[in-house]
A and B are shown apart, each in its own frame.
Chain A
Amino acid sequence: MIELNTLFDAYINANILLVLALCLWFAVKYAMSRFRWNTAFETQLRLLNGAFLAILACPVAIGIYVILHKIGIMPERFSLNFADAVVAQYLQGNLNMKPSEFEAALGLRKTISAEFLSLNSTFSKIIAALVAAGAITLTIRTTQSLRRLRKIIKTSYPWRSTRRVNIRLSDRIHVPFSTRGLTKRYIIIPSAMLAQNADFKMALAHEFDHLRQSDIEWEIGLEAIKPLFFWNPAFQIWKRNVEHLRELACDQRVLNRKGYDPRAYGACLLRVCDNALKNDTSRSIAMPQVGLVSQERKGLGLMRQDFLKHRVMSMLSAQTPASSGQKIRWVMLPLAALIVFAGISIQKPGDWSHDRLMLSTIVNLERMDTINGLGVR
């Protein structure tokens, strides 16, 4: 049976990895903007999703790394562990610190984990209670949203259906969206949109593009892990980036492929927003769906308004992104490799490596020296 300590360690590592991966992503994004790829939203989205897959692949990579060490294919000295590298630097005299202090700093995470898991202090109890309360609240909210979403689909009217996609009309919504069940994907359009032929076509093209991009699957995946990572700002920023990029990429592709006038398309977005705001937003569903515009109540907030403005401006600027083509792999592979490397390097180090034994000896010598010093006095 897996120990609680191991699970907690894996959880903390996942959170650290998320922060590191986000930093790497921002570095890549900055580099892309220098190479005229700042409007290549589809490429950016694929890279961001690829980076997330690299995070998910980390446990497998770590498993392979451990097996290679155990069967001796990878020599003992060849370690990718960050803590081992720091110990090696210390032993070579590159870090100026007292041995006992250095050992304490190395063991800080272990100490904090033990303290947190034992729930001895009031602080650890409060933190644990807050995280648990947040996770439970989000799970309940997700369940409620799923129920509401099911009701919307159930009370909607069939319009067109293919083998995999079911397009339906609903008089209970004001913003078109797409979602999926176990086997079928759904596009739900407000029935009031039937009266606006051009808007209806644009909304349908937009939602079809979300399905092509597998955005709904990503949204479901990210929403499913939200109760575990909601407190981590890196997760929130990551999710926000995915949400923004998928809309920008979708707008860009629909405009390029269908040849809609960007002004007409932008006006359609504004009409849908206006309609959603005029109506009861408290009945809006937060997830798991991908809408033409944000349906969350905080959609009235400044951040959402800014993003809508950004979307419209991106359309009007009509910048054709530099074609990424096969070049994406030259960015994706190093990015994924760096994330996997970061995942391996933050793992708990082996306790009895040669360098660790050396460090332990030095610490013991320091202690003996202190005791001897006291005896002399």
Chain B
Amino acid sequence: MRQKKKNEFLTEVELEFMSHLWDLGEASVRDVLGALDKDRNLAYTSAATIMRILEQKEFVTSVKRGKTFYYKALMPKDTYQTKSLRRLSDELFDKSPATLVARLVDDNNLSEEVLEEIRALLDGKLKDDRA
């Protein structure tokens, strides 16, 4: 029986794999490898190990069809985004999401459209909460 070990967050390379898996929906190791940059030069065995670690971390689940394992994300992308933002807010912004948003809005690179989009999102969230 495989040992299950939970780790709440992903390393850089695991996140890269998960991102492709979120896009692909269900994929084999070879599918994920194919989705990586051409100059990546990652061995199949390394990719298979990364997928196995992701499964042990309970981020993905696998089914065997023929001789191939197919992987599917267990955690939706937005759930992981929320978790990551919460950690960022806790660790870097003194557990204050307001400071995080303020820093984001202070960024000069934000266009009018993006700011408008953020405002609409906040309005929507406020309406939902009141309802």
Q: Which residues of A contact B (CB under 8 A)?
A: 155, 157-159, 169, 171, 191-192, 194-195, 197, 200
Q: Is the CB of A155 within 8 A of B14?
A: no
A278 to B24: give the CA distance in the assembly, Å.
32
Q: Is the CB of B53 within 8 A of A195?
A: no
Given A171-B11, A191-B11, A194-B13, check contact A157 B52 (CB 8 Å). yes
B53: chain A residues at CB < 8 Å are 157, 169, 171, 191
Q: Is the CB of A197 within 8 A of B52?
A: no
Across the interface, A191 reaches (CB within 8 A) one of B13, B41, B42, B43, namely B13
B13: chain A residues at CB < 8 Å are 191-192, 194-195
A169 to B56: give the CA distance in the assembly, Å.
12
B46: chain A residues at CB < 8 Å are 194-195, 197, 200
Q: Is the CB of B14 within 8 A of A157?
A: no
In the complex, B109 has a CB within 8 A of chain A? no
Q: Is the CB of A159 within 8 A of B49?
A: yes
Given A155-B5, A157-B56, check contact A194 B50 (CB 8 Å). yes
Nearest-CB distance from B23 to chain A (Å)? Answer: 19
In the complex, B7 has a CB within 8 A of chain A? yes
Across the interface, B50 reaches (CB within 8 A) one of A158, A191, A197, namely A191
List the count of A-B residue pairs having beta carbons below 8 Å apart.
Answer: 38
Q: Which residues of B contact A (CB under 8 A)?
A: 3, 5, 7, 11-14, 16, 41-43, 46, 49-50, 52-53, 56
B42: chain A residues at CB < 8 Å are 194-195, 197
A155 to B42: give the CA distance in the assembly, Å.
25
Nearest-CB distance from A174 to chain B (Å)? Answer: 10
Q: Is the CB of A197 within 8 A of B41?
A: yes
- Sampled A-B contacts (5; CB under 8 Å): A157-B49, A171-B11, A191-B50, A194-B42, A200-B46
Contacts A169-B49, A191-B13 aside, 8 further interface pairs with beta carbons under 8 A come to A155-B7, A157-B49, A159-B49, A169-B53, A171-B53, A195-B46, A197-B41, A197-B46
A200 to B43: give the CA distance in the assembly, Å.
11
B14: chain A residues at CB < 8 Å are 171, 191
Q: Is the CB of A157 within 8 A of B11?
A: no
Chain B: CB-nearest residue to A171: B11
A158: chain B residues at CB < 8 Å are 3
Complex A-B, nearest 4 residue pairs according to Cβ-Cβ distance, in ascending order: A195-B13, A194-B46, A192-B11, A171-B11
B56: chain A residues at CB < 8 Å are 157
